[in-house]
Amino acid sequence: MTKRETVTVTDNVTGKSIELPIQRGTHGPGAVDITGLYRELGYVSFDPGFVATASCRSSITYIDGEQGQLLYRGYPIEQLAAKSSFLEVAYLMLYGELPHQGEMDTFVNSITRHTMINESLKSFYRGFNHDAHPMAIMVGVVGSLSAFYHGSTDIRNPVHREIAAHRLIAKMPTIAAACYKHSVGEPFVYPKNSLGYCGNLLNMMFSVPCEEYDVDPIAKKALDLIFILHADHEQNASTSTIRLAGSSAANPFACVASGIAALWGPAHGGANEAVLHMLGEIGDVSNIPKYIAKAKDKNDPFRLMGFGHRIYRNFDPRATLIRTMCHEVLAKLGNDKDPLFELALRLEEVALQDDYFKERNLYPNVDFYSGIIYKVLGIPTNMFTVMFAIARTVGWVSQWMEMIGDPQQRIARPRQLYQGAARRDYREMSGR
């Protein structure tokens, strides 16, 4: 019989000791099961930002931040990026295994047959000003899907869950492209399913009824790669938001709307947009030293956007893959002497040689390069995080399905360390 692994916790105030069991995963650090901590010792754990807390069990994605490794269902991201496609990765995420041809055909058919949105949904866009941020529109429109698709909101029904997951993956590009069209005042373009997932998105964004539009194969390939790289990233802020919202049995459309809101922030999915703003602010290679100094100055809120990661302390494997694609896209569709790209590469070079960044293991992350690719593809800056949301929907719905399907699932309800005023009595206004 294998020996039960435990960690002993001793309360030096009372002298009482308890044994907390260790749980082992397939890879990565073990987890100390602290559920007995409050029951036995009367303490809660304190871990702001969840740096040492596993909030759930999952078998979807594994990240080794020290080694710069990312696995989806066990498969290295490098292999999936080279050999797979976004929709095949979506299948893998949802169902745990790579599909056989028949399974893939059925899945692609299901996604393809759900790309249109209810015509009434379009009136929602008219309520937004043309200069509304597309992420604001996304939060609203995706949240409203639950008002249209009642047939897939019974979360205890696995068939409903699957339909909702497929609908979300399928409709996200249509909803996103409509955000863009609304902002430029052009008519919405209906999905054209024969173009494939990414080709259809590009067509819905850039074609107009009065002209022919051909989807560029490099643009399609680049988008497919970015979407694979962004498909999931275990328990990041937006995914954790979705799990938290979903734990109360909220419907999946509302949950994904909450995830989109969490993704919007510049410390998370908003970073790709922030990178472009930052490059614009730096303006010229000659200003790099000044901005590097600002990034290092603790009294200055400026940070190098697209650098650093909570988990990757070595390098971000997605950044390596996307950097190569960035060069390919620039060589074929852009201008590799583009001052913006030169500035980005020079900034990367300077930061990588700087002791401040080296000591803290601050490497360029995936968003550093995805923003530049999007810019070359003609996607406006305020749509960058929307593109991220389309890809991450696959991870969100997979993690949501995993959570709801877990028989041990309970409503998430963190505790807190209260440090406010001690109990006191109400004082009449005249006596304050």
Q: Looking up tokens 């890809």, which residue turns up?
A: 391
Q: Mention every residue, 6+ apart, whose C-beta is less than 8 A from residue 27.
A: 62, 64, 71
Token duo for residue 262: 């969490």
- Interacting residues of 317 by C-beta distance below 8 A, sequence separation 6+: 68, 69, 70, 77, 78
Of 182, 233, 309, 316, which one is the catalytic site residue? 309
Q: Which is nearer to ligand CMC, 277 or 303 (CB)?
A: 303
Amino acid at 425: D
- Smallest distance, ligand CMC to C-beta of residue 42, A: 30
Q: Which amino acid is at 254?
A: A
User: Which residue lies nearer to ligand CMC by CB, 150 or 360?
Assistant: 360
355 classed as catalytic: no
| Contacting residues toward ligand CMC, per CB under 6 A | 233, 236, 267-269, 271, 295, 303-310, 360, 362, 365, 367
Q: What angle do CA 238, 244, 249 make, to 5 degrees?
A: 125
Kindly tell me which of 216 and 316 has the beta carbon lying closer to ligand CMC. Answer: 316
Residue 316 appears among annotated catalytic residues: no
Name which of 199 and 306 has its Cβ closer to ligand CMC: 306
Structure tokens at 270: 């908003």
CB 226 → ligand CMC: shortest distance, Å?
Answer: 12
Can you spell out the DSSP letters for 341-360? HHHHHHHHHHHHH-HHHHHT
Shortest Å, Cβ 222 to ligand CMC: 18
The minimum distance between CB 202 and ligand CMC, in angstroms, equals 23
Q: Tokens standing for 189?
A: 């373009």
Nearer to ligand CMC, 198 or 237 (CB): 237
State the nearest-atom distance from the C-beta of 249 to ligand CMC, in Å.
27
Nearest CA to 302 out of 313, 294, 310 is that of 294
Please name which of 150, 149, 144 lies closest in space to residue 128, comparing C-alpha atoms.
Answer: 144
Which residue from 77, 78, 76, 98 is spatially nearest to 87, judged by alpha carbons?
98
Half-sphere exposure (CA, 13 Å, Cβ side) for 262? Answer: 20
Query: Minimum Å distance from CB 294 to ligand CMC?
Result: 9
Strand, coil or helix: 133: coil
Pick 121 or 172: Cβ nearer ligand CMC: 172
What's the CA gap between 172 and 116, in Å, rounded? 10
Which residues on adjacent β-strands are paired with residue 71? 62, 76
Q: How far is the CB of 106 from ligand CMC (least distance, A)?
A: 32
- Using Cβ positions, the residue closest to ligand CMC within the complex turns out to be 308
Q: What burial class does residue 111 get, using C-beta atoms within 10 Å of its C-beta: 0-12 exposed, 13-18 middle, 19+ buried?
A: buried
Cβ proximity to ligand CMC: between 41 and 222 the closer is 222
Q: Rg for the chain (alpha carbons), in Å?
A: 24
Instruction: Please identify every residue annotated as catalytic.
Output: 309, 367
